[in-house]
Structure 1
């Protein structure tokens, strides 16, 4: 009969060890932040909200920091009235009117919006002030070039410059000269 107490002690120790193992393996997950609860921009552009306007995947595509840049991304208006949106950066402003409960996709040809210059080199972040009605926010928008194939068709090409028309120079006169003597 001495075997029974020994089995109870062993069972208690095994159950306690199992409980500690279970607690130790789940305890780390209980105190760590879950990645799925964090909001982040899953693409190349930024995500920001200013008043009733939501900027989704906003970025600028340009050849360099001083060339014309094209805005890409989507602007969503959650209000029941049209909203005037201004994006100002590096001395240049782009303004669009976003329809009530609507959106504007800058990738669409009808909504093509350019800026004179992005103000940052490709691979850097450009400082942009977003103004909606009386609210504004400063955001840092990525500038990309055409290196990635998905953006190459959006890089604005410089407008051809008109060169001066060639001018014709009169041909030298070919009058015979009298070299034989006078």
Structure 2
């Protein structure tokens, strides 16, 4: 009788582990952070920069699109430098504030002298205060997609 009970417990335990054990060792893709849009993202100190991309018709002039979230308790300035051209821009972001640039509702940040290939990437260096800067490779897209057609400079 004891052997039969032990066998039943072992069988039940085997079924429970077999039915759920693979979830314990299987790779979980939902734990990976990724950019769900065409742009790229970066974190610079207390600033979270999201969905960075450039919309351009000819690669010479572009509309920089991005969102900046200041997760810190102090105001911060995001410095954006286009590596190849050396052009730089600054965006002031108050503590707890989110700023979006280049969308239909917001003023565009026009980049002149972009010198990038549409469909390629342009290197951008992001810096905020004394935090370590980050260089990202930002996609340059045209207005071929309907969601970008109105954003071409």
Same fold (TM over 0.5): yes
Cα distance change of structure 1 residues 41 and 110 upon mapping to structure 2, 3 Å threshold: closer
Q: Which residue does 1:112 correspond to in 2? A: 108
- Aligned equivalents of 2:115, 2:104: Cα separation in 1: 20
| Offset at residue 34 of structure 1 (A) | 2.7
Aligned alpha-carbon RMSD (Å) = 2.5
Any runs of at least 4 consecutive aligned residues in structure 1 with deviations exceeding 6 A, and if so which? none
Q: Which residue does 2:92 correspond to in 1? A: 98
58, 67, 70: which one aligns with 1:77: 70
Q: Does 1:55 align with 2:49?
A: yes
Q: Which has the higher strand share?
A: 2
- Aligned equivalents of 1:26, 1:108: Cα separation in 2: 48
Q: Is the 8 A contact 1:87 1:93 kept in 2?
A: yes
- Aligned equivalents of 1:27, 1:11: Cα separation in 2: 23
Cα distance change of structure 1 residues 110 and 149 upon mapping to structure 2, 3 Å threshold: closer
**Structure 2 unaligned runs (5+)?**
none
User: SS at 1:138's partner residue?
Assistant: strand
Give the alignment's TM-score, normalised by structure 2: 0.79
| Offset at residue 103 of structure 1 (A) | 2.8
- Aligned equivalents of 2:115, 2:14: Cα separation in 1: 58
1:131-150 to structure 2, matched below 5 A, reads 131-134=127-130, 135-150=132-147
**Structure 1 unaligned runs (5+)?**
157-182
Deviation per CA, 1:41-83: give whole Å up to 9, x if none.
122211211122211111111124x321111121123342241
| Offset at residue 133 of structure 1 (A) | 2.8
17, 33, 37: which one aligns with 1:23: 17
User: SS at 1:85's partner residue?
Assistant: strand
Q: Which has the higher contact order (CA 8 A, sep 6+)?
A: 2
| Higher Cα radius of gyration | 1
- Aligned equivalents of 1:83, 1:125: Cα separation in 2: 24
- Aligned equivalents of 1:44, 1:110: Cα separation in 2: 19
- Aligned equivalents of 1:58, 1:31: Cα separation in 2: 35
